[in-house]
A and B are shown apart, each in its own frame.
Chain A
């Protein structure tokens, strides 16, 4: 009792003669100060980090909200007039993303299934899995303009490439390449979360490996897999640089998927923001706001699905 540094005036002993829990000992006071200090610093840091984000949201909303009305989604962009919208861009982005999703999600999922479910069995499989993982990591870090350049050189350009010209398919390939490692990596993590005990239960009932994957592992991981794919879509939908080199951009609706320069919302923002008149710039902000909302919806949906995935365990 003699070493007790009391900062409290209440009784030091309880009725039973034990030392009261209210008696603060040793460095309790200093600890409380440090704790308050650390909490303060971290809160400030977080506030500073959030400020730019809030400013972006505020600015995009303030400047873009005026452009958003029904016509914005249903008419094409005139070169000078007040009216008109980004229909060409929305349709083009839908084309490009649709193709990119069809290419990257099955492929990414298949990669993850191989790595988690099949690659662990043999030594060669483990090596291949390590290699795949290495390349997906590298691919995640590749600047997107390189991907654009690659697809341009391979599909679009006629010097050394297949010479197909700018088209939505080339854009899909580029975006798919960007999305693939994200899908593969996030799916891998999700499949790993499925406990082995469910796999074993399935095998013990005489299920084959493929049946176990299809009827036990994939359904159990489905919400998480959807989350990963949605985050990849959110990432892909805003890509601009690779699209400049693959679909070029168009103000007017283009219905062909395989032929002709195609529009996309990020490209219309890029060009619109540099126009010399107010209406064009406002449309750019409107496009930015719509993209922002799309990504926001995808992320919120992904998080909601993700929280369901976590509840599974």
Chain B
């Protein structure tokens, strides 16, 4: 077992888990397989409301896989199967009568590579609103688009060119457009899979600021390869790693899940300490 690190390795952003925050996701013994390959084994963790939960770990340890379980994007991967308990606000996310479309309206997602549609900025943000439950009038739609772009800190940069293509924006702007598109439908949770890995440090800083603001309104779960980022932005951190079993097959598993400040300063597991101190991974 690791003893506490003498000096903190990474500056901690100061966020701390909220005492008694309601549980949004409860994972119990979750396994995910692609075909016969069990990619993730026995993951149990609770994700809390209006917190930022970071998933970190070396490449291939199953962070994205776990993240995609939370909005059932794995349903779209042929051969993928999920077992174990995934409860969202107390109800089984994979229950027989749960509609994956409804799931994804409540639990939005931002991808690693900015992926705006080949449509105008306006139409990108309005996309999910046009087929939502509420029939919006033209002016309501305008308001929702503006509100979403404002909460993604993009409104001022694009308000004069809402009709130009989303692809004409810079990478960082495109990613904020994707965030605007996700929050426009007013989800409960926003999942982000390495949202900054394609961005430069300035664009990254903007998105990190944005995450802090979004956490007032939404529950965020982010995957990141950047440990400083996890330390800066998150309340809790889950460290995953991949074990190789006797047959040489790699299985991802959750090593340690705790308050971010604790993971980065006093990790309980040697492997966590090795990873965050850069000795492995």
Name A residues whose Cβ lies closer than 8 Å to a Cβ of B.
120-121, 195, 197-198, 200-208, 211, 215-216, 219-220, 312
Contacts and interface: CB of A to CB of B under 8 A. Distances in A.
A205 B71 CA distance: 10
Contacts of B113: 197
Contact of B117 (A120, A121, A203, A216): A216
B265 to A, nearest CB: 35
Given A205-B108, A206-B185, A200 B76 contact: yes
Given A201-B178, A203-B76, A205-B105, 17 more contacts: A120-B78, A195-B115, A197-B115, A198-B118, A201-B115, A201-B116, A201-B117, A201-B181, A204-B104, A205-B127, A206-B104, A206-B131, A211-B131, A215-B130, A216-B117, A219-B118, A312-B118
B230 interface: no
A62 B119 CA distance: 47
B115 A121 contact: no
Contact of A204 (B108, B131, B132): B108
B135 to A, nearest CB: 16
Nearest to B127: A205
A196 B272 CA distance: 34
A203 B127 contact: no
B6 interface: no
Nearest to B133: A206
Contacts of B130: 215
Contacts of B108: 204-205
A206 B71 CA distance: 10
A200 B73 contact: yes
B128 A220 contact: no
A201 B193 CA distance: 12
Interface in B49-94: 71, 73, 76, 78
A57 B105 CA distance: 59
Contact of A201 (B101, B103, B111): B111
- Counting from the closest, the 7 A-B pairs by CB-CB distance are A206-B105, A205-B128, A204-B109, A197-B115, A206-B104, A201-B115, A206-B101
Contacts of B131: 206-207, 211, 215
Interface residues of B, number: 27
B221 interface: no
A215 B127 contact: yes
Most buried by B among A202, A206, A207, A208: A206
A312 B116 CA distance: 12
B102 interface: yes
A89 B104 CA distance: 56
Contacts of A200: 73, 76, 111, 115
A208 B73 CA distance: 12
B66 to A, nearest CB: 16
Interface string B161-205: 000000000000000001001100100000000000000000000
A225 to B, nearest CB: 14
Contact of B128 (A206, A208, A219): A206
24 contacts: A120-B78, A121-B78, A200-B73, A201-B116, A202-B117, A203-B73, A203-B104, A204-B73, A204-B109, A204-B182, A205-B105, A205-B108, A205-B182, A206-B101, A206-B103, A206-B104, A206-B128, A206-B131, A206-B185, A215-B130, A215-B131, A219-B119, A220-B117, A220-B118
A57 B116 CA distance: 46
A222 to B, nearest CB: 10
A201 B175 CA distance: 12
A130 to B, nearest CB: 15
Contacts of A206: 101-105, 128, 131-132, 185
Most buried by B among A195, A204, A211: A204
B15 to A, nearest CB: 26
Contacts of A211: 131
